[in-house]
């Protein structure tokens, strides 16, 4: 794998009596997720495989980001630590050279820090994504 892109879900809504796993995106999150997808493409990344949390807000983020790649929805990404995320990526990636993970904080920040100890962002803003290439992680915040 040459490139790993770690995308945090968009800003979520907090409706009453909805379980955390089932929370939808807020209007702002819908807009953010679309911008994130455009930014990933603008930077020239061609995603070969998407690994996405089964949480509603992650699935909706992926839908708005409009990635043209095979998708695997994995319940194990929901609440995963950085180490667990990297283990999942290693197990699922196959021959993919650019993998996009759509998931949650703090696991995404932890994964980036494990791959690049100089990565200093302890928290990802919603719809931000880190691109990890050659042991270097760079955070992008589409707005």
CATH 3.40.50.360 fits 3-140, yes or no: no
- Write down the domain spans for the chain: 3-140
Mean pLDDT in consecutive groups of 10 residues from the start of the chain, 143 residues: 94 94 97 97 96 98 98 98 98 97 96 92 87 94 87
| Whole-prediction pTM | 0.96
The pair of three-digit structure tokens given for residue 79, joined into one six-digit string: 């609440």
Strands 136-140 and 129-133: antiparallel
| Residue 57 marked ligand-binding | yes
Q: What kind and span of H or E run contains 107? A: helix 107-115
């Amino acid at each position: 794998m040459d490139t790993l892109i770690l995308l945090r879900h968009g800003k979520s809504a907090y409706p009453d009596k909805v379980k955390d796993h089932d929370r939808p995106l807020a209007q702002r999150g819908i807009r953010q997720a679309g911008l994130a997808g455009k930014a990933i493409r603008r930077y020239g990344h061609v995603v070969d495989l998407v690994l996405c949390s089964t949480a509603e807000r992650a699935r909706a983020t992926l839908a708005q980001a409009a990635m043209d790649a095979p998708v695997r929805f994995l319940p194990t990404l929901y609440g995963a630590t950085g180490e667990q995320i990297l283990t999942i990526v290693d197990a699922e990636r196959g021959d993919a050279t650019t993998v996009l993970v759509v998931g949650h904080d703090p696991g995404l920040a932890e994964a980036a820090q494990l791959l690049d100890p100089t990565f200093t962002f302890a928290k990802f803003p919603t719809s931000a994504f880190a691109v990890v290439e050659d042991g270097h992680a760079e955070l992008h915040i589409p707005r």
